[in-house]
Amino acid sequence: MALITISGYPCSGKTKRADQVKAGLEERLKDPSYEGPSLKVVVLSDDVLNVDRSSYDDSRSEKSARGALFTAMQRQMGQGTILILDGMNYIKGFRYQMYCAARELKLRVCTVYVVATPESCKQWNEEREGVKAYNSETLDNLIQRFEEPSSMVRWDSPLFTVLWSDDDVPLDQIWKAVMEGNVKPPNAGTQAVSKAPTDALHTLEHISASTVSAIMAEQASSGGLGGTVTLSLTSTTRPRITLPSRNITLSELQRLKRQFVTVHKKAITLGTVEKGTVDWSEERVAEKFVTYLEENLKP
């Protein structure tokens, strides 16, 4: 349904704002006058995922912490959920990644930017205890690296700014954004790429090699007369191919096989170079290879 991204300095009061948004949305969803779909409001944060503040002390553990948050976000996102992501979300590239994931599922999005001074954040951090407090050097580093959200970029829009001194969040605007905002359809940059099955490479190699062997065997038995013949590759795979009326050498077939396999390996590794779902069955691979040979074998 929607993704609400909370962003701001560490210890700036983001969790307080996330709780205010959650409480306000749930109150409106329970209102007798509400006639929309049945929705649940979920908050995800480092505390919910048991991510220790020390995870941000070095880049490797920090990357793992962000990965844990992103993975949990993907599991929770859906048409029946308003998901509030309570975290620093201080890297614009990470916010863009979350925006793409939401757009892929056709969810509405908005960003709540919680603003507080660095001095206030440091003071509030000192008042915390145990694992909820950041190392002072880590806190300084995170504040310096913070990339402020901007209403000028699509992945931070619509953007609602909440000052540390504000009593509440702009709930009317947030409600309108998650319930009535534009749903941007996925595009080539955000759509999931169709992946080939795990045995696709084996099928590609096996069928192309079997086809070469079958052509050489057919040529030996017919004396290189050419014409349209049926190749028996497996019990269910019997493609037809039109061969030229000449002697085709093994090296020529092997060269074309290598070219064919190289091109299609890229499709297997990267997902697909074609629109829609690619059929990697033995029959389809054989048909593709036979067509490729007919187009590239000289008369």
Long-range contact pairs involving 270-276 (C-beta distance under 8 Å, separation at least 24): 270/193, 271/193, 271/194, 271/195, 271/196, 272/193, 272/194, 272/195, 272/196, 276/194
pTM summary value? 0.63
Residues 60 and 176 in one domain: yes
Residues 45 and 16 in one domain: yes
The neighbour count for residue 7, using CB atoms within 10 Å, is 27
Residues 69 and 139 in one domain: yes
Q: For position 276, what pLDDT does the model report? A: 41
Residues 136 and 261 in one domain: no
Q: For position 223, what pLDDT does the model report? A: 74
Segments forming the whole domain that contains residue 167: 2-190
Q: For position 273, what pLDDT does the model report? A: 42
Q: For position 98, what pLDDT does the model report? A: 93
The CA distance from 14 to 163, in Å, is 11
Q: For position 263, what pLDDT does the model report? A: 84
- Could you tell me which residues are beta bridge partners of residue 154? none
Q: What is the total count of domains within the chain?
A: 2
- Could you tell me which residues are beta bridge partners of residue 230? 240
Residues 217 and 125 in one domain: no
Cβ atoms of 241 and 293 closer than 8 Å: yes
Residues 151 and 175 in one domain: yes
Average pLDDT along the chain, 299 residues, taken 10 residues at a time: 94 95 96 92 93 90 91 91 93 93 91 96 88 89 94 93 94 94 66 65 91 90 81 89 88 92 75 52 90 87
Residues 222 and 104 in one domain: no
Q: For position 10, what pLDDT does the model report? A: 94
Residues 165 and 277 in one domain: no
Residues 207 and 183 in one domain: no
